[in-house]
Structure 1
Amino acid sequence: MATPFTWLITGTSSGQGAEIALAALQAGHSVVATARNTAAGKEAHPDIEKLGGVWATLDVTDESAQSTVEKLVDQHSVNVVVNNAGYGLRGVLEDLSMQQIRSQMETNFFGALAVTKGAIPLFRQRRSGTIVMISSASGFSGTPSQSMYSGSKFALEGVSESVAEELAPFGIRVLIVELGAYRTPFQNAVDKPTEVMSDPYKGTVSDKTAQRITAGHGRQAGDPVKAAQAIVEVVTGTGRGAELSEVLRLPLGRDAITRAQVKMKAFSHDMEKGKALAEWAVFDEPYDGYPPL
């Protein structure tokens, strides 16, 4: 391997995080696997330690998360950080409490920012490193019945776009991974529609979408092992990822591609329909070059 990679992965005790850790280790890299409950992670995935991975306790919502990550990055010479920790929140906006909404943003959004901020200083000093944001197809195309999960991932993608340009001068790459439906325990941990959908919304598109997602658990087309391999190859520029070193977004899964295409088509339609009005809503004076077009 030309370049040594040491990965710090959040939310590694189960699901996609564990698969990314295993894929990186199997490819010959080093891994710092983090989780709130490392004992559960070790029990569920003993191969992580057997392959040379080390575990570290990290709760991304804790006030100490940023400083903990900074220490781990320094101690283990980490050069890849994967923001994988997160959870899904089922329910339409009207039905969700503000506490539920804030908790969703605290883990999926603010937690990822704390981890990223912990990694940036040393990455910047070394003028290298990769930050992977595990997003979702729902972070590019909103999903009824998962409005706040979509919102947390949309927010993460917006910050990631800006941060990618902020960090590029220092040789730091940001990669947004938009996962489709994958066969992990993720959806099984989400509240079921019968538990969260209030009567006014029953039978609506939100209810039907939630029912379809729940009914599809265990039958998702996405293979988490292949997704993990794809992420490792894109980050390291090897195998199937050799030609993807410049991409910002990496949709994974046929459904992720289809949803992105539908969203882009709808966006293009709205742009064309509103173009004349948009161009009218400016001062009647010659364009002076600001903002740059």
Structure 2
Amino acid sequence: MSLFWRIFLLNAAVLVAAMLLLLGPVTVSTPVLLTEAVVLTVGLAAMLVANAALLRVGLAPLHRLTRAMTTIDLLQPEPRPVPAGQAGIADLIRAFNAMIDRLEAERASSAASALSAQEAERRRVAQELHDEVGQTLTAVLLELKQVARHAPEPVRAQLAQVQETTRDSLDEIRRIARRLRPGVLEELGLTSALKALVTEVTGHTEVSVRQHLDPDLPVFEGEVELVLYRVAQEALTNTVRHARATTVELSLVRQPGHVQLRIRDDGRGIGDAAEGAGVRGMRERALLIGAQLAVAPGPAGGTEVRLRVPVGDREGRP
């Protein structure tokens, strides 16, 4: 039973008991006159209605707080409940807001540490793939080439096929290393890295990617560039793997007060599917730089991912 109904029924029980006492032979006529009974009944009903209205108004802040508690998501910040009501209720709402602020700060700090460790691990794995596995496969290719020169013709054809397979494996290793550690992002910047990402997607899949990269972009910090790149990479990866799309639009434009990254496809859409680890990872990255991420159906179907990164009025320009 809710708090509202407990208080209401308690007050109602008191008022009903008072009415029954008033209907007794000591205070009213015996037998009870019809007019007296009607007046007392109407009065009781009016008091119950007034009591319910007052309780509903007084407990409304608690109902709003309850809804906020059940719907809040730390990865999708929403406006805090406004402290209202009597002193005790307002203090409770303020304490709840302070608790959410602490939880968001702690989550942001832990997420930043986790993502930093993840990027460091990606760099290490990419470096090992490039230095160890890549060099080993390169040496194997050279050895195969030497053996093929002195091998008889039937064996030479087989060795050529093995060489081709090894060469494809080496290319795949290099591609994985580039995805783990986007060196072009550190060396040439975000625009060049996004162009390279689009080229990689179109070169290894049948998805057509149309891109529009604003030439008038601000100069981002390294962490902001990395978040923009990883969100675009994750969105394109999800499109290729799950959307069954044929065309993707990628745009990065500067707008008043923010820069917007948008990836829109013509695939089957998200439907009622729950958010996976990839989308939640994008949300965590967006929170690290104070950006807003929205994943929703596109205007003409498919899925649209929008990342809005706030920029100051005095943000530097390239």
Given the two structures, how large is their TM-score scaled by the length of structure 2?
Answer: 0.20
Larger radius of gyration: 2
Given the two structures, how large is their TM-score scaled by the length of structure 1?
Answer: 0.21
Q: Taking CA–CA contacts closer than 8 Å with sequence separation of 6 or more, which of the two structures ends up with the larger relative contact order? A: 1
Instruction: Identify, as 1 or 2, the structure richer in helix.
Output: 2
